[in-house]
Amino acid sequence: MNQNPRQLAFLILRDIERRGTYADIALDQSLRQADLNPVNRRLTTELVYGCVRRRRSLDALIDQFAQKKSHQQQNDLRIILHLGFYQLAYLSQIPASAAVNTSVELAKTNGLSGLSGFVNGILRQYLRQQEKSDQNYPILKLDDKNLIQKLGDFYSFPDWILEYWLNELGLEETQQLCQWFNQSPTIDLRINPLKTTRETVENELKLAGINVKPIPHLPQALRLSGSIGEIQKLPGYQQGWWTIQDSSAQWVSHLLDPQPGEMIIDACAAPGGKTTHIAELMQDTGIILACDRAKSRLKKLQQNQQRLQLKSIEIKAGDIRTFSEYNNSADRVLLDAPCSGLGTLHRRADARWRHTAENVQELSQLQGELLEKTANWVKPGGYLVYATCTIHPLENERIIESFLSQNSDWKIDLPEIPLQEVLTPEGYLKVWPHRQNMDGFFIVRLKR
């Protein structure tokens, strides 16, 4: 069993590299089998997520200090250099000598003894350079040559995302957004008012030593920070007192505004974050039809429903494009569409590398198709909420504009909400993470 956090991080990063495994899945599997104390578990997690997230910046350091470019280096050597540079550049709590020496050790234990001198040399060269330089962040101007590349190398994002942010936000806010996405995510809870109150949960969590504070404008929300431990062991989890859900995602069901006794269809429901919120807002009356094509995610929805003890949810598995029986049947429909997740890049370390400009185009097509389909399910006079956790116009504004231009019986219904600063003149709720300090989201309510 592995007890060395750096060796374990190396093996996990190699697995991600070789097999394209998702970072969170690879980490989770390995940590379950490893024999590590809590401090070393945290270090392994930090090293894996950090190296994945900062891949481009770490490659840029290899490019700067080695004769061969990062992509020409042997894969295992490149991972060891990533681990070394990551500790030196981003983990101030680790002494530089420990970062260098353990990286040299990694080379020796993983069949690269002949290159251990090179590892030692390049990391020490970086350290000498760092001592000389007094500037840790780039001062950039919009007309800088190679601006995108400099931003990408420093903040570790792909060019195509940066190009689009620069266009939408300008340079200063793009840097703020990059920085925001590079920090560790916080955890928000949504209190189940059918079981308890926010005050009770807040007090219980404080008694358990957790940092917790309310979130403005959301009466059921709490934000946790600092060290939290295992979620399932927190007070109230087993009793169904709360659900983990980011504050911006909590706005979605409030905008849907479901009323007790209504017939609601949640078209893309799994794992049920919003379905269960809708049920709570309706005091567990009426019917909520929760549809999704992913069976494993629907299983999680079922578990959440059981834990929260909600009876009003019915599950229907399948591709909603093939469903024909729901036309004109729902008072309200929620379409929480599959999307690129560009508003939640801080939550999944590898998400920024998995999507491309091309696959945003493909998603956009699917989103348009799902909207056309599910709009038919709404009774005349009813409502549809379209939501995504991305902040890309192709998946948001363009979808709604195109839908409205082809469906004259629909219009945007302006929501009355306290969060006026995120409401655009067209009536869209557009949450930018660095402005509102929550996940990026797009929400719009349409009326038939």
Ligand X SMILES: C[S@@+](CC[C@H](N)C(=O)[O-])C[C@H]1O[C@@H](n2cnc3c(N)ncnc32)[C@H](O)[C@@H]1O
Say whether 339 is catalytic. Answer: no
Among 84, 236, 240, 273, binds ligand X (CB under 6 A): 273
Which of residues 12, 34, 221, 268 is near ligand X by CB under 6 A? Answer: 268
Of the candidate spans 37-45, 173-181, 210-218, 287-295, the one that interacts with ligand X by CB under 6 A turns out to be 287-295
Checking DSSP bridges between strand 263-266 and strand 287-292, what pairing results, if any?
parallel
Q: Which residues are CB-neighbours of 347 under 8 A, at least 6 positions away? A: 185, 439
Is 274 a binding residue for ligand X by CB under 6 A? The answer is: yes
Does residue number 292 form part of the binding site for ligand X (CB under 6 A)?
Answer: yes
Give the Cα separation of 200 and 193 in Å (integer).
11
Least Å from the CB of residue 293 to ligand X: 4
Nearest to 370 by CA among 305, 255, 292, 270: 292
* Piece of 39-47, 99-107, 146-154, 313-321 that binds ligand X (CB under 6 A): 313-321
Tokens at residue 62, please?
């290899």
**Alpha-carbon span 57 to 153, nearest angstrom:** 5
Q: Is residue 319 close enough to count as binding ligand X by CB under 6 A?
A: yes
Choosing from 108, 213, 217, 321, the residue that interacts with ligand X (CB under 6 A) is 321
Rounded distance between C-alpha atoms, residue 36 and residue 14, angstroms: 19
Size of the site for ligand X (CB under 6 A): 17
Nearest residue to 224 (alpha-carbon basis) of 232, 215, 233: 215
Q: Which is nearer to ligand X, 78 or 392 (CB)?
A: 392
Q: Which stretch binds ligand X (CB under 6 A): 133-141, 317-325, 355-363, 421-429?
A: 317-325
Which residues contact residue 168 at a Cβ distance below 8 angstroms, ignoring those fewer than 6 apart? 393
Contact (Cβ atoms closer than 8 angstroms) between residue 360 and residue 394: yes
Q: Return all residues near 432 (Cβ < 8 A) that are at least 6 apart.
A: 169, 173, 177, 391, 422, 440
Could you say whether residue 297 binds ligand X (CB under 6 A)? yes
3-state secondary structure of 69: coil
Interface with ligand X includes 440 (CB under 6 A)?
no
Cβ 420 to ligand X, closest distance in Å?
24
Tell me how far, at minimum, the Cβ of 334 lies from ligand X, in Å.
7
Residue 347 near ligand X by CB under 6 A: no
User: By CB under 6 A, which span of 196-204, 218-226, 285-293, 417-425 interacts with ligand X?
Assistant: 285-293
The residues that are catalytic are 389
Q: Which residues bind ligand X (CB under 6 A)?
A: 268-274, 291-294, 297, 319-321, 336, 338
